[in-house]
Amino acid sequence: MKKIFTTKQKTYALVLILAIFCCLSPLFGERAPIDVNLIIDGSAALSDVKEEVTSWVCDRLDQILVDGDKITIWNAGSAARVIYSQTINGRTDIEAAKKSVRELEVSASSTADFSGALREAASVSLQRRQNSIFSYTLLISASPEAHSSALESPQANLLRFSRVEEFPAWRALVVGLNLETRVKRAAASFFGL
**Structure-model confidence comparison of residues 112 and 18, the more confident one:** 112
In which domain, by residue range, is 170 found?
Answer: 34-184
- CA atoms of 103 and 88, how far apart (whole Å): 19
In a domain, 24, yes or no: no
Question: How many Cα atoms are found within 13 Å in the side-chain-facing hemisphere of 6?
Answer: 3
The CA angle 37-104-139, to the nearest 5 degrees, is 30
Mean pLDDT of 127-143: 76
Main-chain dihedrals φ then ψ at residue 49, nearest 5 degrees: -125, 15
- CA atoms of 135 and 159, how far apart (whole Å): 14
Least Cα distance to 57 among 84, 38, 75, 77 occurs for: 38
For 19-170, list the strands marked E by DSSP.
34-41, 70-76, 80-87, 134-141, 162-166
Model confidence at 62: pLDDT above 60: yes
Mean of per-residue pLDDT scores for the chain? 78
In tens, the pLDDT along 66-82 reads: 999 999 999 998 899 99
Least confident of 27-36, 56-65, 86-95: 27-36
**Structure-model confidence comparison of residues 8 and 184, the more confident one:** 8
In a domain, 9, yes or no: no
Least confident of 124-128, 136-140, 184-188: 184-188
Least Cα distance to 137 among 151, 123, 154 occurs for: 123
Q: With beta carbons less than 8 A apart as the criterion, state whether 41 and 35 touch.
A: no
In a domain, 192, yes or no: no
Model confidence at 52: pLDDT above 50: yes
In tens, the pLDDT along 2-44 reads: 556 566 665 555 455 655 655 554 455 577 888 899 999 999 9
Q: With beta carbons less than 8 A apart as the criterion, state whether 170 and 49 touch.
A: yes
Model confidence at 193: pLDDT above 80: no
In a domain, 115, yes or no: yes
pLDDT for the residue 69: 93
In a domain, 14, yes or no: no
C-alpha 148: how far from its chain's center?
22
- CA atoms of 168 and 107, how far apart (whole Å): 22
pLDDT for the residue 149: 55
In a domain, 2, yes or no: no
In a domain, 136, yes or no: yes
How many domains, in total, are found in the chain? 1
Q: Going by DSSP bridges, is the β-strand pair 80-87/171-175 parallel, antiparallel, or unpaired?
A: unpaired
Question: Which CATH number goes with the domain that contains 39?
Answer: 3.40.50.410
In a domain, 158, yes or no: yes
**Structure-model confidence comparison of residues 60 and 111, the more confident one:** 60
